[in-house]
């Protein structure tokens, strides 16, 4: 009777250890790190895209002109295929400036990354803008 209870305890301990390690493995697999890595990649891509357009002041000039079509065309070219985006431009008082949508489609993905880019125009008026770029991997 005692031997039987001892065996049961041993089996129980083994099962517990097995359960413990399998849960660890599962927890690592389902942790959101992979999503966050993807978010980081998207955010970095978005900021670098805007920075490349801003390097010689082109971005600020295009916004000054209100040339939203050209801005959307540039984003279409510079962002990777399969990335959905939606850009909103705000003025110094954080009021939206673009009167048309600057987007390549509807972002319905739950994992939307949003980056904010401060931009100054090299124009004589020295206007300041805040660009909010939402990015998602198209499904």
**Residue carrying structure tokens 């070219």:** 77
Identity of the residue, 46 or 68, whose beta carbon is nearer to another protein in the bound complex: 46
- What is the rounded CA–CA span in Å between residue 81 and residue 109? 16
Does 95 engage in binding with another protein (CB under 8 A)?
no
Identity of the residue, 39 or 72, whose beta carbon is nearer to another protein in the bound complex: 39
Site string for another protein, 6-45 (x = CB under 8 A): ---x--x---x--xx--xx-xxx--xxx--xx-xx--xx-
Identity of the residue, 35 or 70, whose beta carbon is nearer to another protein in the bound complex: 35
- What is the rounded CA–CA span in Å between residue 107 and residue 139? 10
**Residue carrying structure tokens 């009777």:** 1
Evaluated on CA atoms 82, 102, 34, 139, the torsion sign reads negative
Stretch that binds another protein, among 67-75, 80-88, 100-108, 109-117 (CB under 8 A): 109-117
If you write DSSP's letter for every residue of 75-113 in order, what string do you get?
A: HHHHSPTTEEEEEEEE-TTS-B--SS-EESS----S--E
Helix/strand/coil for 129? strand
Binding-site member from 47, 74, 97, 112 for another protein (CB under 8 A): 47
Least CB distance to another protein at residue 106 (A): 25
Q: Which residues bind another protein (CB under 8 A)?
A: 9, 12, 16, 19-20, 23-24, 26-28, 31-33, 36-37, 39-40, 43-44, 47-48, 50-51, 54-55, 57, 60, 92, 115-126, 128, 130
């Amino acid at each position: 009777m005692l031997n039987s209870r001892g065996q049961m305890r041993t089996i129980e301990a083994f099962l517990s250890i097995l359960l413990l390690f399998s849960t660890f493995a599962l927890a690592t697999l389902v942790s959101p790190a992979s999503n966050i890595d993807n978010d980081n990649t998207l955010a970095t891509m978005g900021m670098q895209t805007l920075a490349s357009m801003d390097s010689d002041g082109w971005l600020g000039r295009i916004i000054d002109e209100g040339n939203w079509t050209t801005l959307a065309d540039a984003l279409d070219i510079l962002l990777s295929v399969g990335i959905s985006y939606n850009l909103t431009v705000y003025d110094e008082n954080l009021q939206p400036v673009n009167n048309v949508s600057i987007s390549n489609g509807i972002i319905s993905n739950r994992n939307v990354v949003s980056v904010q880019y401060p931009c100054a125009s090299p124009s004589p008026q020295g206007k300041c803008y805040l660009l909010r770029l939402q990015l998602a991997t198209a499904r």
